[in-house]
Amino acid sequence: MLLGRGGAAVVVAGTQDSIQSREARSPQFLSRRFVGGSVRGLSRDSVSLFALCGFLLLVCAAGAMAQDSPRRAFLGPDGQLLPFSTDEEVLAFLADAEVLSMDPIPVGVTNPRKVLLEQGGVRSHAVFRVVDEIHEETRLSDGRLRQRLRDSAVLEVAAYKLSIMLGMTTVPPTAVRRIGREQGTLQLWIENTMTETDRRLSDSGPSNLLGLSRDIQKMRAFDILVGNDDRNPGNILYERDSWRLWMIDHTRAFQAFYGEPDFSELHWCERALWERLQSLERREVEAELDEYLSDHEIDTMFERRDALVAHIRRLIDDRGSGAVLY
């Protein structure tokens, strides 16, 4: 068991992976990763991340040992493992634990706050968000104009629940919570992480290039599915020891007016995620997310799902499943 820098303890088992096709290493396959400018779904500030991803894919496309999804465990403020064996136990803690302190987080535009929780002698940090607005017209950090932009804390819960439905473990547990007179959401704080902004400033990088490149591809697929075009270097977290990736800040996801998805940076897909994307049914999504999403938001999410599945099918038809799925 390795204690990851995001506060997660990671247990990994390896199995032999197939060799990726030479086509996946072609200049055409990687060219957009080294091109500057804005790409839909990520701000202009994320170009450095694109360059990193290009390098990762170039180095790793020959294949390596595959990894099963890590089992999740989390660290408390003292660096010790929290005594939670399931996400359900984490969610119960977030819903019921006593609030000991609450302090502003000096980054972000939705005024999140860092909360210290305690229950039964167990302490953990969490992020409290209360934003719930619809912006008739607003500009994103990269200058793009958006109309009728919903910005809501409950979308954090929707993103978390959908990630679990897809078998993903890269969105921290999140629950609805009222603190005092404020209704919002609490998301477990992942201790000991750096943001993509931090990584860029420190000029650091992982030794496990393949693992991180795959995490980034899953992040891109997820952002397309949920209509999240506000991914930026400040809401991509890496664990300091393991370089495991975490996705946070989805208050502007599930946009009903997202437009046509941009697939130019999506080249691989995890086999398990591919199967779940194809089998995802509206009735199961409604059962989990109807409390947080409108019918129209669910409609447009499934439109993006269909487009995402069609794109991955085209990649498989063009290159073969061994070059696309892992």
pLDDT of 230 reads 87
CA–CA separation, 230 and 149 (whole Å): 11
Low-confidence residues of the chain, pLDDT below 50? 1-47, 50-51, 54-70
Helix (H, G, I), strand (E, B) or coil at 324: helix
Beta strands in the chain (DSSP E): 2-3, 9-10, 14-16, 65-67, 98-104, 113-119, 122-129, 132-139, 145-152, 174-179, 182-188, 193-195, 236-239, 245-247
Buried b (16+ CB within 10 A) or exposed e, 182-192: eebbbbbbbbe
pLDDT of 144 reads 73
Compute CA distances 22 → 26, 57, 214, 324, whole Å: 7, 12, 17, 11
> Which of the 8 DSSP states describes residue 293?
S
The predicted-structure confidence for 29-56, as pLDDT tens digits, reads as follows 332 332 223 334 444 444 455 445 544 4
